[in-house]
Structure 1
Amino acid sequence: MGFSQSLYRKLIVNGLAAWPAVPSRVRARLYRWGGIDVQTTFLSARCYFSGNRVTIGERSFVNGGCYFENHGAITIGRGVSLGMEVMLCASTHELGGPDQRAGKPIGLPIRIEDGCWIGTRAVILPGVTIGAGCVVAAGAVVTRDCAPHGLYAGTPAKRVRDLPSEKTAEAVG
């Protein structure tokens, strides 16, 4: 991406589209013009995207102030809800020597599968997959994969409860 394209993307995606006065449907179009694969219109203001390697599925909701740091790809499934100021960090660094511990940057993908709810100010770290139907509590820091249909909370996030899935709901009903 050349300088003018990068500047254009930054102005459109993190400038105009982030402005609270922009209607959600227009915001979705602006994100698409900036190269982000957005399949929903439930997009709140003041979100930040460091790049365009982001996919947001149908019926998903992105609340205000979410941060998408995507040196690695970020994929959000269908029907996912992100609370306010959720931080998705898809990059880290190799461990460097004693003179500079943050070595070469590396991107690791983040995947949030269908139907998840990520609470306010949760942090999702590089290389994590959150299985379908999970809930991540507000303020949790997710450092490892989350198995489907669980409630995860804490720092680091741990599974604290199983949640009903379609299979268990059918067996109960």
Structure 2
Amino acid sequence: MSDIPVIDLSKAPGERAAWDRPAWVVYLWAVCELLFVINPWQISSGLRVRVLRAFGAEIGDGVVFRPRTRVKFPWKLHIGDRSWIGEGVWFHNQDHIHIANDVVISQETFLTTGSHAHRSDMALITRPIHVEAGAWITSRCVVLGGTRVGRSALVRPLTLLDGNEIPAAEVWGGNPAAFVADRFAGAAA
């Protein structure tokens, strides 16, 4: 077993690599996030949105932002008009997350743009996430960096999206994620 390497994490590069802001801004954000965004009380969705915007988030009109939501770096979050962000959603956005208009991200979904160079030095690796207009990512999904969810696509509960490209108007689910059905097949006109 001694021939199996172990990466010395004390030498791993990347601490604060994704911050893109001075330390005082990151720390101030952490306090505001705790008071206004993660807070489980049913305080105003509008207040959450205003606090996120104050820290650089681009959030459109009519967005609903439920309690217990986490946002790593608001300056890397982009959400279009009329989108709904469910309770307990976690944007671990070390890279940009782009959510278009009329998107639903349901309860307890985790979106993360970061990973590590696990075969070498554990350096931070990031890739953005894109969710197109009308998509619905249902509850408790995990969405990893490099994923693109197409227009009006639907992702079923507990699905893992590992850099997938989900075509428009399709339903996907599972781990690994796979095509399930056409979202609007058989729907009345």
User: Do these two structures clear the TM 0.5 threshold for a shared fold by scoring above it?
Assistant: yes
Q: Deviation at 1:15?
A: 3.0
Report how far residue 11 of structure 1 moved. Answer: 1.4
Gapped regions of structure 1 (runs ≥ 5):
none
Given that 2:171 and 2:180 are in contact with CA atoms closer than 8 Å, whether structure 1 keeps it comes out as yes
Q: How does 1:21-170 map to 2 (within 5 A)?
A: 21-39=42-60, 40-52=62-74, 53-97=76-120, 103-143=122-162, 144-164=164-184
Q: Displaced runs of 4+ in structure 1, greater than 4 A?
A: none
Select between 21-30 and 62-71 the one with higher mean Cα deviation: 21-30
Aligned to 2:16: none
Is contact 1:13–1:34 with CA below 8 Å preserved after alignment? Answer: no
User: Offset at 1:96?
Assistant: 2.2
Q: In 2, distance between residues paired with 1:71 and 1:106?
A: 9
Q: What is the SS of the residue equivalent to 1:9?
A: helix
- Whether the 8 Å contact between 1:18 and 1:27 is mirrored in structure 2 is no
How many correspondences in the alignment? Answer: 165
Match for 1:2: what amino acid? P
Once the two structures are TM-superposed, the CA of residue 21 in structure 1 deviates from its matched residue by 3.7
Q: Please tell me whether the aligned partners of residues 135 and 151 of structure 2 are also in contact (alpha carbons under 8 angstroms).
A: yes
Write out per-residue CA displacement over residues 119-158 of structure 1, whole angstroms, 9 at most, x where no aligned residue.
1001111101000010000100012110111000100111
The 2-side partners of 1:163 and 1:41 are apart by 23
Retained in 1: the 8 A contact 2:36–2:47? no
> Following the alignment from structure 1 to structure 2, what is the Cα–Cα distance between the partners of residues 153 and 63?
19
Q: Structure 1 residue 7: deviation in Å?
A: 1.4
RMSD: 1.8
Matches of 1:63 and 1:75, distance apart in 2: 16
Corresponding residue of 1:2 = 22
Q: How far does residue 31 in structure 1 lie from its aligned partner after superposition?
A: 0.9
Matched with 1:11 is 31
- Identity rate, percent: 23
Rg bigger for which structure?
2
Unpaired stretches in structure 2, ≥5 consecutive residues:
1-20
CA distance in 1, matches of 2:110, 2:88: 9
Deviation at 1:50, TM superposition (A): 1.1
CA offset at residue 2 of structure 1? 2.1
